[in-house]
Every structure is written in structure tokens, then in C-alpha cells.
Chains A and B, each alone.
Chain A
Amino acid sequence: MSNNEGVIYRISGPVVTATGIDARMYEVVRVGHEKLMGEVIEIHGEQSVIQVYEDTSGIRPGEPVLSTGQTLSVQLGPGLLTSIYDGIQRPLQTLEEVMGVFITRGVDADGLDLEKKWDFVATASAGDEVVGGQIIGTVQETETITHKIMVPPKASGTIKNIDSGEFTVTETVCTLDDGTEIQMMQEWPVRHPRPYTQKYAPDTPLVTGMRILDFLFPLAKGGAAGIPGPFGSGKTVTQQSLAKYSDAQLVVYIGCGERGNEMTEVLDEFPGLIDPNTGKPLMNRTVMIANTSNMPVAAREASVYTGITIAEYFRDQGYDVALMADSTSRWAEAMREISSRLEEMPGEEGYPAYLSSRLAEFYERAGRVETLNGDDGSVTVIGAVSPPGGDISEPVSQGTLRIVKVFWGLDAGLARKRHFPAINWLNSYSLYPQSLNQWFRDNIASDFPEVRTEISALLKVEAELQEIVQLVGSDALPIDQQLTLEVARMIREYFLQQNGFDPVDAYSGVEQQYAMAKAILTFQDEAKKAMAAGARLQDVVNVPARTELMRARFAEGYLESIGGLVDDMVGEITGTVEAN
């Protein structure tokens, strides 16, 4: 006979050992008189080792431990959007109502509001044959997002009964012939990827509105990117910009072991921000998970799984979902902390030996897929990495770079110069351009890839020339190379720099990006011509129309005005020949 009640044998920080309980791996248990939530993470003979999601101070050996028979799961259904959860999907708003402003412990809370009635519109009818993943109805969850109610992945049969109307998430909306009852809410164990039919190769960019990303190092929908960088280099601002401006239909934002105020900022800001892609408030498409640095580490460890399971659930409805995890290093550190309490044999820098496989499994949950219902959906994952001292030779950075195809390397030196986004254009890379070039040719300009190549080539040449300048000064260079330096400066200051907080320039559509890149190349061509005809470099560089062209990007309507500004610049550059 199995025993579902045992006692605590040992407590060491967030790790508790219990005896006398027959628990399964990853089963959820209740620890102590206060019934703190925990998860079994190791079994040694009689002993079950449990990671506890709440503070364990004051708990004693001998207190009871109860098994629940369930594994750590999330509740999926209408009500996810606009919510903010802790790492184990407790709504922070509910916690505030119950506990006040400080998070105390021993409180359970459902991820979804079980009382709220939603307007369910059946899209399937009695007699329909349905399989797992099939959509049987919809709920207009927010202004922009229609929540599609699906048959749970493992169920199938013929619909006996289905009704439109007002339902709570736990009421049955549909019954199958075999008696299976379907509710709007599904539960899914977070450590298991949700099933899909097949993975596709990505072929569409996730447009972010950040020039350096879209233009030079594009990420595909369904792809994965890593953003490593030392503190203060711009990981969070980049992640938040992606959450604001990227053309994903849904965003899952995980604040994993980072600052409380950063989450507050998102909460304050997003409801008032408009999604440039839909014109509707951003909050409508956002789910947030906040397990900040001072909240329990075991729940931090769980937070990334909670987040990605929610992302997969919306993917299964046919949406393009983007997930940001800030920062995956804190997740890895949570693993390290738990592992060291378990006295496991440490790998590199004290991280558990399974670190890299956990990272790989996580990023593998990204992808563009054919869903069980034959639709197309994607999860794009963007993970921030916080390498100690900014040195990416450490295990989390390396483990991440082995998996992701896009590396946006943040650079402390650039951040110190207030060159933002401080993404180093020399060592960052994307392995997607080949698969995305066709999209850019079809949707933006037929020579888009060539323009990109030209811009990146100029930046590479600049880096080489800078080495010489460091030895001899720029005046010693031949005049054409001095021009190249000026063109490269224009690329950096006008194109690559993009203030994430500028009300206008923070978002730049891909067409505008292309127009700006072309403007730079036009400057180069015209300058060469003028100089060949005798104009002085200084005069060419200093034409006021060029400065105006650059400054005007901070004003609305730039895409419309840029053509005229370029013409003005060309005119003035031509004028420098006559002036001589």
C-alpha cells in the first residue's frame, strides 16, 4: 500500500528530506504544518528529497509531508493574458490580496480565475470527429487575442454535446461519445514539452524594430537567440524592447531571478503602450512571470518551465509566440544552488553536470511547428545570459551558444560610450539570413541582402582601419579611407544606435531600416563622386543636410520624409564641388 503521508527528516535551506512517503519523481508535495509547496527531485531508498518553493525558516524535522499525486503543472485556459505570476503560476495579484505587499508563505492560489464566466463560442458541432489539439470553440480573451479552446492533446472521439454560452474554465463545454468531458481549462506538467505534429524550418523573421537586430542579425520566428552581456550592458532593455515591439502575436515575459522594479516597470508601462503591429494596448498580448532574485530559488528554477509551457499552449492555438527569459543565468544558478544542497558531484564552476542538457532541452522547446490541429504556430525564445565579469567563456554562456543560432553579444565598452543597443557588431552573429533572405527580398526590397552585406563589410573595414588609426592617427590615412571611416561612423551613430527609450526612434520598421541603409550608401557614393571632382572631405562630411537627415529620425513620419532629406543631402554634396 502506498503511503501519502511522511515526516520531515532534514531541512537545509530550500531542500527538505522526508521519510515514510512513497513519492514519484517530480511529484508535488506539501511540506510541514504550513503545507508549503515542494517538488520531489531525488529519491534515495526511504528518503525523498524535496525542493521547496517557499522559505523554510522555522520548519522542524518531524513535521508532516503530504504527497498530492500530481506533478508540477500549470493551468491553461482563458485568463492567462495580462496576468503576472510567480514561478509556480500563483497570480501575484491574488497573493497581494491575501498577504499584503510582502510575500509570506503557505498560500495556494489558482493560476486561472475559476469563478469568472467567459463567453464561449462553439466552433465545432455535435457529431464532429475530433482529435487532440483540435479547436472546438473560442473565447475573445482580450481585444486582440482570441483564445482557442482545444481538445486536450491526449483525448479524441466524436462530439456528443457542445454548447456556446457563459462558462467558467472548469465547467464542461463539450462532451465526447465516450463520456470524456472537456473544459476550457487544461492542466499540463511543466517539465514536459507539449506535443505537435512536426517541426518546420523557420522562414519568416521575427521583426523587432531594432535596426541592428533585424538588419544585421535577424532572428526567425521559431528560432532561439542568446543575449549575453555584463551588468548594465542592455540585456533587460533589449528584452523589454522585444516584448514591446516585436511582431509576435503573443509575448511571455519571464523575469527570472532579476529585479523587482523591472517587473513593476513593465506592469506600469505596458498597459499604456500601443503595439505598433496591432495598434492595441500591449498588455493584451502579454503574460508575465516574475520570480525575482529575492524570491525562493526553487520557484525560480521552475519559472522558465512555467513560462515555456504557457508559450507552447498558445503556439498550439496557431499563434506566433515570443518568450523572453531574463535571465537564464539566474535559472542556472538556481539549479546550481539546489544541486549543491543535494551534494551532487559538481561540474564546471560548481554547476551540475546536467546543466548543458537542461539548457538544450529548454531551447529545444522553441520552434515553428505544425500543430496537432494542422495549423502553423511558433515559439521564439530569447534568453538573456549574465556571465560573471562579462566573460562568456563560462558554462552558461557556452552551453547556450552551442544551441542557439543567434548571438547578440552585448559589450560593456559600447555601453560605457552610451552606444545603445550595445550589441557588438563584430562578434554577434545570426545563422538565419540564408533562410530569411527570400522573405526580405519579397517583402522589403529585392536587393536587401546585398545592402546588408555592404553595410556589414563597411563595419569590418572600419575595424581594420581603426587599428591603423590607433598607431598613426586618422589624418595619416589616404583620403578614401578617411571617407570610409566617416561612412562607418554614420552607420554607427545613425543606423546602429537606437535609443530604446526614444518615443519615436525606439521602433524602426524594416522598410525604414532599409531606407536608412540606402541613405548611407548614397552618401558614400555621392561623397566619392564629389571628391573625385575636387571637393574636400571636410566639406562633404559637414554638409548641414546630412546632419538634418540624421537628426530627423527622431521625428514622426521619417519613412515619408527620408527621400526628400536624401535629395537635399545629395544636392549639398554636389555643391561642395562648386565651392572649390
Chain B
Amino acid sequence: MTSKEYKTITDIKGPLVFLEKTEPVAYGEIVTIRLSDGSMKNGQVLDTSDDAVIVQVFEGTEAIDRQAGVKFLGDVFKLPVSRDLVGRILDGAGRPRDGGPDIVAEEKADIIGAAINPYSRQSPHDFIQTGVSAIDCCTTLVRGQKLPIFSASGLPHNDIALQIARQAKLKDSDEEFIVVFCAMGITAEEYNFFRTDLERTGALENAVLFVNLADDPAVERLITPRLALTAAEYLAFEHDYHVLVIYTDMTNYCDSLRQIGAAREEVPGRRGYPGYMYTDLAMLYERAGIVKGKKGSITQFPILTMPGDDITHPIPDLSGYITEGQIVISRELHQAGIYPPINVLPSLSRLMGGCIGEKTTRDDHKKVSDQMYAAYAEGRELRGLVAIVGEDALNERDLQLLKFSDIFEDKFLRQDRDEDRTIDETLDLCWNLMSSIDEKYLVRLDRELIDKYGQHTE
């Protein structure tokens, strides 16, 4: 279709271009803009009426003037998908970035994605062993889950994400994940870190990378994760792959969203982020899961950095309201030299209940993890008290719990970057560590389990 070129730009503001007097333009339609020097930019329609059209320009509006020519391409944004995506590196708008050929489309998929009918979902229940004790025991990852890492600048979230990508497997199975990696505004250095590691382990051949770096267009970031998820859905639901989507950094994505909102002079919600950010994020995160009649699955592992280490900031807050739990990285533990510095207390896996136990992990898993948590939580709280009143003021029970919190961090949390513990090893370790606490204080364990696994010596 050859479409007409319009030269009717009236206003340009931030990432937005306003036009008047066009033929009817579709909501969400894709747009190209030809600048006076012949270079091209891309965009998408955000608002359309008989009188005016608003276009969001992915590459930013720099150098666009009122003489620029605007063409409407007649369709909404689609990604050409095919099995050949596997092993490819694409840019933030889906164009090859690895010097390879264009993707020959088996089909073109709308990147907004349709909502999975809740009636058609299948509850995720397959335990994924990550080999990281803190996660496997306390915030168990489930295939088809969306479980973000809440981190902050300067913390080793990338190491953790990569360790999980390397080690993740179903218990007693060799079935592997393919990784869809989506970079949004991260630095070239961070990106290289990921790419090199994926290359080193051979995972790159089985991965699809969508890359928008810090110096790439900011508005483009709004489509990058949608491309990645569209690719993931295609691979999972048309080709039966188990896909692990890692995307980083959601904070940059949200900042782009805020930029658009501000340019449209929308009434902002909290801290300047748009009121619809919850819905917008849900349209990404909810694209995880398992559906009836399809063999594949999408597991999401978004990474976000909490501005000011603040978990109540709208980005982690709204994410946590949508995702199925969160893994929280702690600066305090990191500074204490503990890797992985996962603070299990605010961490959570909402799908854990349905995937652990006798049939999948071990009969003691649930109670052990409850007890580990409870004891650690109390021990940590006592640290504050001890700082004021000293250890002398503690009774026997409190003293044991206090000591346990140190053991927990040193022996349970701490492990090497390539240390891959089985779930049995992890749970045995828990019993071993809990033997430092008198049995009568372990009220969350029942008699039977204590008799079966307890390592208390009389």
C-alpha cells in the first residue's frame, strides 16, 4: 500500500508530534517520519480524530521540523516472527543488530498482545530448581511465574539473574529454557556482561536478544519489551519452548512512560508517573504463564532498580502488585560481603505453595521454610534490641534466635556464584542450621518431621 505523505505538523513537543488534516488514521497505527535531510524516524499514533493526530516518536523528535513528511502505514506495530529468531540479536525496535539478515516472517504478530483468557490458563506448578538456596527454599520459582528481582544500583542483580539462567532446571529433568533477553536503557558494559556470559555457557545460540541501550532512543524502550514478549509468546505457544524472559531495567522503561505522560500533559499519578502505569505494566507482566493445550511456557524474570532503595517507590510498588512475588536484594547484606545478598524477609513467591511438597520437592519443604523465615525474622529483629541493651538482657530463646540469624546469613544465604545446590542439599542444610535452636522453640515444625529429619543431638 502506498500511503500519502502529510506535511501538516502543527506542534512538536517532547517525544510527540501533532498533525492536523489527515485522512482517518487508526488508533495505534505505525508512522514513519521523513526529515528534511532524508533520514527516517518511526512512531505510533496515540490519539486520533478528524481534526488532529498525536504521534509518539520512538527515536525522539530531535531535528524534526514542521516540513517533515509523515506517512501512516495502515497497520499497528507488528513483529515478524519465525523460529529463526532463536540465536539472533535485534535492536530495541526489532531490527537486526548482529549484522545478520532480516527475519523472514512466518507470521506477523501484533506486539501489544492479547490478554490470556483467565479461564484458559493453567496454574503453574512445576518447581524450578535454581540451585540458589535462598530462592529454592524460601521463594521458590515456578515454571510460568513472573518473579522480578527488586534491586538497586550497585548491587549484583545481574550476577544473580545470570546464575539463575545458567542453573535453572526442573528437578530430575534436562529440559532447558531458552532465554529471551530484553535490555532497556542499560549500559553497554552491563549488556556485554550478559552477552559474554550467555556466550560462554553456550546459551546465546538458544537465545533471542532485544537490545535498547542507554544511548538508544528512550521512547523506543516502550516497545522493546513488547517485542521480546511477542517473540516469547510465539516460541512458547507456537513452538513449545519453555522460555525464560529476562528484562532489565524496568525502571528505565517506566521513566520513558513518564516522559510520554508529561509530554501529553496528563494528570500525573504518584511521583509523576502516569495513572495508568499499573495497567501498562500489567500488560507486560501478565504475558507470563502457561495456557491450556500448549506445551510451552513463559517465565518472566524482570529486573528493576528501586530508586533510592525504596520499595514503596511506584515502580517496585506497582510491579509487586502485579507480579507473583519478588526477590529483594539488600544493600546491607551486600555490604556485609554476602553473595547472593537476598533479603528473604520482604521476598516472596506467591506460587510456591502449589509447587512444593512431597511430590515435587520434599515433604518438609513448607514447614522448614516457614520455620527458617520465622526464626530469621525474629533473630534479625533482636539485633536492633541487642544494639541498645546488650546480649545480657536476652533470655535463652532470644539468644539462640539472635545467633541463628548470623548463621542463616553466613551458611544458608552465602554461596558461590557457580555453586549449584540441589533442593535436598538446601533442605538438609536448613535442618543442620536449625539444630542450633532448641527443639521447643521450633514451633512451626511438627513432631513427625523433627523425628524424620531433625539433627538435634541430645
Q: Which residues of A contact B (CB under 8 A)?
A: 9-13, 17, 55-63, 84, 92-93, 95-96, 99-104, 230-232, 255, 257, 259-261, 263-265, 267-268, 290, 292-295, 297, 330, 333, 336-337, 340, 346, 349-350, 386, 388-391, 412, 416-418, 469-476, 493, 501, 538, 542, 544, 547, 550-551, 554
Contacts and interface: CB of A to CB of B under 8 A. Distances in A.
A350 B118 CA distance: 30
B276 A388 contact: no
A103 B114 contact: yes
Contact of A231 (B26, B320, B398): B320
B330 to A, nearest CB: 13
Contacts of A57: 26-28, 76, 110, 112
B123 interface: yes
B449 to A, nearest CB: 11
Contacts of B120: 92, 96, 100-102
Interface in B117-147: 117-124
A474 B393 contact: yes
B270 A388 contact: yes
A336 B217 CA distance: 30
B300 to A, nearest CB: 12
Interface of B: 24-29, 46-50, 75-76, 110, 112-124, 237, 266-270, 275-276, 278-279, 282-283, 286-287, 289, 291-294, 312-314, 317-318, 320-322, 324-326, 345-346, 348, 350-351, 353-354, 370, 373-374, 377-378, 384-385, 388-390, 392-396, 398, 440, 443, 446-447
Contact of A294 (B25, B286, B293, B350): B286
A201 to B, nearest CB: 36
B440 A60 contact: no
Contacts of A333: 275-276, 278-279
A202 to B, nearest CB: 32
A518 to B, nearest CB: 20
A542 B292 contact: no
Given A57-B112, A390-B312, A474-B394, 4 more contacts: A10-B50, A101-B237, A260-B289, A493-B443
A58 B76 contact: yes
A293 B325 contact: no
A84 B114 CA distance: 19
A104 B115 CA distance: 8
Contacts of B47: 10-12
Given A389-B317, A418-B374, A475-B395, A292 B275 contact: no
A416 B389 contact: no
Contact of A267 (B75, B119, B237, B395): B119
Contact of A60 (B25, B119, B121): B25
Given A61-B49, A349-B269, A93 B345 contact: no
29 contacts: A9-B49, A58-B28, A60-B26, A62-B50, A92-B117, A101-B120, A101-B294, A102-B114, A102-B117, A231-B317, A232-B326, A232-B348, A260-B115, A261-B289, A263-B118, A264-B123, A290-B118, A292-B286, A294-B282, A297-B279, A340-B275, A349-B269, A349-B270, A388-B312, A388-B318, A391-B312, A417-B373, A417-B377, A470-B385
A417 B378 contact: yes
A478 B293 CA distance: 66
